[in-house]
Amino acid sequence: MIIREREHDFIFIEQHNHALVAGELIKQWKMGPFNDSPLQEAVIFAIEQHDAGWIPADKQPFWNDAKEMPYSFIDFPAPMKTLLYSHGIDHVQTTDLYAALLCSEHYVRFLEQDDTESGRNFVQQEKKRQEIIHSLLTSFDEKLFSYHYALLQFCDNLSLFLCLNEPGENSHPFFTKGIPLSSALPHFSQEKMAVTWVNDETMVLKEFPFNNPFSVTYDFKQIPKYQIRKNGLLNSYVEAPFKQTTIQIKEKQES
């Protein structure tokens, strides 16, 4: 779950809804060896499904009593988190091996430096999965895979930027200096992409990697803190209606 805390309420964005935004971003991509690749659909599937493991957990969010707020994906307990990661990769693998390899690599890189038992076990398990998938793929291009993985990273990060920040703001510490850009994406001149809000409905990018200006929409729930104190987190979340935020993404025009 993505959580934004405000003075009187919490904003909840389910991880899969954030991933669907990432999927809309990659569908607009115009640069490099992507649109002509026979692996294009596999990459799109990986990006829009990379957080599918969170779907069941996000339907019934958990309360962090130490912080007196709901758990987010950032502080969710590691043993449970790795189970969700594995479940999500399993889900993707039933449809596409290459997409599963991308998702596996995505989460392994999160946890390669994790010294907890659950983190070490997860990385070991996923390394074995990757070996099996490599053996099953008829051909594998390491350089192209790195490019596809960099696309997943970029779309994930840009979608997270949209969801972690209030519309019109750039206050979350993950992205105050911009969106990280992998060296596997040779189209950009900087190591980070500058993002500028025009207003709370429109953002502009200096090095625009998409076909045309477009919009993305994500679902969220807004729940007052007093309601959680009165009815509990689970009941409050289940009963709350989904709302929507739409953001326009455009190219920054040089003055």
| Residue range 172-188, pLDDT digits in tens | 999 999 999 999 988 88
Query: Region 139-167: what's the mean pLDDT?
Result: 95
Ordered alpha helix ranges (H), 94-141: 97-111, 117-136
Query: Region 135-161: what's the mean pLDDT?
Result: 95
Take residue 107 and report the two structure tokens written for it: 């989460």
What secondary structure letter does DSSP report for 92? H
154 alpha-carbon distance from chain centroid: 9
Widest CA span in the chain: 57
What secondary structure letter does DSSP report for 166? P
pLDDT at 33 > cutoff 70: no
Compute the mean pLDDT over every residue in the chain, rounded to the nearest whole number: 94
Take residue 5 and report the two structure tokens written for it: 């805390």
Q: Name the residue with tokens 């069941």.
A: 56
Instruction: Report the half-sphere exposure of 238 (CA within 13 A, side-chain side).
Output: 9
pLDDT at 34 > cutoff 90: no
- Considering the entire predicted model, what is its pTM? 0.95
The phi, psi pair for 84, rounded to 5°, reads -65, -40
pLDDT digits (tens, 9 = 90+) for 57-110: 999 999 999 999 999 999 999 899 999 999 999 999 999 999 999 999 999 998
Q: Are 100 and 89 in contact (CB under 8 A)?
A: yes
pLDDT at 206 > cutoff 90: no
Q: Are 111 and 123 in contact (CB under 8 A)?
A: yes
pLDDT at 2 > cutoff 80: yes
pLDDT at 207 > cutoff 90: no
